Amino acid sequence: MDLTCELLFEAACRMTPDARARLVRAFYEPPPAGEARLTLDRPFVLPIALEPAQVRAALRDAQAFVRALVALEVYAYGPDGSDVHARLMRSLEPGSARLVEQCLYESSESVRRRLRRMDAFLDPNRGVFSAIEVNQIAPLSFYWHDIDQRLAAHVLGELGFSYAPRRLAPRVFDWLAGELHARHPGRELRCVALVSEHGYEGKKELPYLARSCEAAGRERGHDVAILHAYPDEVRLAGGKPVVRGREVDLVWRQSVYLDAYPPADVADYETICAHPEEFLLVNAARSFLTASKDTFALLSDPRIVQKLALAPEDARALGRVLPETVNLAHAPEERVRIVETRPEWVSKPTDSSFGEGVEFGSLHTAATWGRLVEARQDGRFVFQRRVRSPVLPWVEIAPDGVPRRRDVEFDFCPHHVDGDMTGTATLRVHLHEPSAGDRAMNVATGSFLTPFVTP
């Protein structure tokens, strides 16, 4: 049965007040020991379901986009791609560029199988899927996704609907094991170090993700340990990575900059990051190159796309998925058009995250937008066609247990693991407020995660 707003609203209304009160308590209660939740004060919006055929079509196009992204990176490192490589390097912050330069090699197969999460939208009113960013440097939300899937199964079960949660942890474990087996066929994965830096609030899920992936491996019969570690805990002993005295088969990099550490404390870890094939490191630092938002400008250029020799259906999908993106350092002739059609554009730094530096043309006057366009022509910014957050009528259960219909704005951020779209997605939601105007869809601007009912 396809879930709709009306079906969920009617099911919630049929529940007794006591049953709804129990559901609300279960939603807001603190997590069990050993688990975490992103926030306990988000609105109780029921799990969101979308038209299955639209979801499947969106994921096919997302997979085509990943193939184009991989093709661009392979081309940039090939004999004819030096100009593309140099352009992407100029679009990065100095710290990001240094990490790319530091990574001496990564196989095209590992590039294809990278962990990724897209920032995207799926408009159920038009059936249009649009990707606006790709997170592949240190993609997050995988653990939160699995926690919310379990919550979705409980909530839907209480409403009278059967739903089997779709967990990412087993898929992530298979990716890790597959990367080891690709380089050492027959070798058993015994120990993984998931490495992230200290003091990064956005990465607080990672110790829990390590545990959940370890549990998934053990469910599959593997005697494996997946340890969360910090860069200064990773050492080389006898040419092998070691964490807290234990030899590590594979290092899973989720760190970014290491500037806060004394260089001597992270020298071994930096050596490992520079040689991902020798030391079996995944999510290598080369991922910074095509994480640049200038990638979208390059893939919006038919001349570049032609050089990638994409399959015709992938080139068509790319045209559907990518909003027009312009880097004025490479297309100065577009400046007047961007100034004159201000409400249709969003400007972003090429190397930033969490909505930092994002400017909506619709929130500027003609004068301030003109000055911003003038200031953002150095190659470190792009201008992207604005993609409006779709609005969907759905169901919220208030803290007093009363169900009500609410319009919500949401994005649709699919996951890519081990070379494939997993069929899952993270949904970030705002309660729709027409007076709020344009705003980025991320936790930093007050959006909250809501479970997605995976078809």
The 10s digit of each residue's pLDDT in 26-84 is: 888 887 777 877 666 789 999 999 999 999 999 999 999 999 999 999 999 999 999 99
Any long-range contacts for 396-402 (C-beta under 8 Å, 24+ apart)? 396/43, 396/44, 396/45, 396/46, 396/431, 397/12, 397/20, 397/23, 397/24, 397/27, 397/44, 397/46, 398/44, 399/24, 399/28, 399/44, 400/24, 401/17, 401/20, 401/21, 401/23, 401/24, 402/20
Helices assigned H by DSSP within 376-454: none
Write down the pLDDT at residue 1: 61
Write down the pLDDT at residue 40: 61
Q: Read off the pTM.
A: 0.94
The 10s digit of each residue's pLDDT in 303-351 is: 999 999 999 999 999 999 999 999 999 999 999 999 999 999 999 999 9
Write down the pLDDT at residue 179: 95
Instruction: Take residue 68 and report the two structure tokens written for it.
Output: 């184009």
Q: Are 182 and 215 in contact (CB under 8 A)?
A: no
CA dist 253 → 94, 188, 246, 256, 273 (Å): 19, 20, 17, 8, 8
Write down the pLDDT at residue 439: 79
Structure letter (DSSP) for residue 188:
P
Q: If you search the block for the tokens 């939601």, which residue do you land on?
A: 429
Residue closest to 139 by CA, chosen among 55, 37, 209? 209
